[in-house]
Structure 1
């Protein structure tokens, strides 16, 4: 993915990583369209950041995705980058069936949402000389956090989907890039924005932008902090990584 000169649509960019990435891309000379469910947040972003475009979209609603896609393509026919940022993360307890509603919503948002977005834009992207679909997985796609089972599963699904789409679209002008964040100081979970063990948001975005610039052909965007999780199994340290992630003794003591 080139660092500049793109027209980029980022659904799920009204806060956190999505908004910070949108602003960083805008600063590097890209046309950026931010998507989100809440019109008041979109209006605030447009007012505070002149030049950032907005569109209302709810990726859990198939009709909303189709409506937003038509709007974006009619206004920005040069669109060549999609970042499937929209996602949710919830603590769940699977000892009883009370988890089901949360799990269904997580899978709908984190897996079905990106699939709907890709379906809405993939034909258009194949008409562009250089296009990128950036999916968003997580370090938790490779090592599970005990309290977020559906989130872990959804991000593992996004990793394998990204791997497969890259193979299928290899005969087109469309690149598939997977962004793999570690824990970042955002409001994804209550208290995470103040978690001293999470990566500061500005540091994360700075490193991501540097990686995009210096590794334009990379398949996976991995900041250094996520590699502990990403490659634990390859290092033969999977059990130790899972134990450390969940605050347990790796020897079961």
Structure 2
């Protein structure tokens, strides 16, 4: 599938990887975005006229059916759904600044809302030939780190969900793909880690994975992490535990 003249929905599109995907896919495609910050949505629409935007916070999944109805008024079908939106909180359960409510917020944003969106948008995707659901995942779905336990767990759940949904849709026109990312230089990772991959390189790889129908696309250092976890799992766990 060449990403030209396609109808594409991108979540979390106003910053980081999502914004870079918008830059690369516009104006050769018809883009729709879902984001939570109205000021950033307004700025994006100035820079990318023609992008159709919907505002919602994925923490409030009760809003999703109404958002999808608005989307259906704008287009009867979609070719590609890119589930990119995510949040990550770094305090551990034993840190004094850990917030109890962050557990629900993180799981809902990273996993429950994504599952809900896949279900609600499946009829629109099923109208198209060779449609794609691309779930943006993380190397932390394969081997967790010490901090961000809920984030790691939500990404692990996303991995299993994506595989199972792939089985369910085997005899349909909808492909379920994943992109497993290393540490990427985005606002979410500001002040954390070294040797981050740029959004430019990551977005290029994500697009390549969609166009080449790579089911589980390991990007950057994730290739080595998956191999190490297969051959020497104890070493992989020790490395990630200290990361």
Same fold (TM over 0.5): yes
Please name the residue that 2:101 is paired with.
101
Is the contact made by 1:11 and 1:83 (CA closer than 8 Å) also made in structure 2?
A: yes
Instruction: Tell me, yes or no, if structure 1 residue 92 matches structure 2 residue 79.
Output: no
Is the contact made by 1:131 and 1:173 (CA closer than 8 Å) also made in structure 2?
A: yes
- CA deviation string 1:144-196 (max 9, x = no partner): 1111100000000000000000000111111101121111000113414xx54
Name the CA shift for 1:217/1:209 in 2 (closer, same or farther; >3 Å): closer
More deviation, 110-119/77-86: 77-86
Aligned length: 242
Moved over 4 A (4+): 96-99
Is the contact made by 1:35 and 1:56 (CA closer than 8 Å) also made in structure 2?
A: yes
Please name the residue that 2:234 is paired with.
239
Instruction: Tell me, yes or no, if structure 1 residue 36 matches structure 2 residue 32.
Output: no
2:216 counterpart (215, 220, 225): 220
Runs of 5+ consecutive residues of structure 2 not aligned to the other structure: none
Name the CA shift for 1:230/1:99 in 2 (closer, same or farther; >3 Å): farther
Normalised to the residue count of structure 2, the TM-score between the two structures is: 0.91
- CA deviation string 1:112-152 (max 9, x = no partner): 11011112111222222221111121100001111110000
CA distance in 1, matches of 2:38, 2:220: 35
Is the contact made by 2:61 and 2:108 (CA closer than 8 Å) also made in structure 1?
A: no
Please name the residue that 1:151 is paired with.
151
Instruction: Tell me, yes or no, if structure 1 residue 164 matches structure 2 residue 164.
Output: yes
Name the CA shift for 1:185/1:90 in 2 (closer, same or farther; >3 Å): same
- CA deviation string 1:184-211 (max 9, x = no partner): 000113414xx54211221222233334
Name the CA shift for 1:22/1:230 in 2 (closer, same or farther; >3 Å): farther
Please name the residue that 1:202 is paired with.
200
Secondary structure of residue in 2 paired with 1:146: coil
CA distance in 2, matches of 1:205, 1:81: 15
More deviation, 89-98/135-144: 89-98
Is the contact made by 1:208 and 1:222 (CA closer than 8 Å) also made in structure 2?
A: no
CA distance in 2, matches of 1:102, 1:20: 27
Please name the residue that 1:51 is paired with.
50
CA distance in 2, matches of 1:189, 1:208: 19
CA distance in 1, matches of 2:92, 2:237: 18
CA distance in 2, matches of 1:233, 1:87: 24
Alignment of 1:49-128 (within 5 A): 49-95=48-94, 98-128=98-128
CA distance in 1, matches of 2:95, 2:48: 45
Alignment RMSD, CA only?
2.0
CA distance in 1, matches of 2:179, 2:208: 13
Secondary structure of residue in 2 paired with 1:233: helix
Please name the residue that 1:132 is paired with.
132
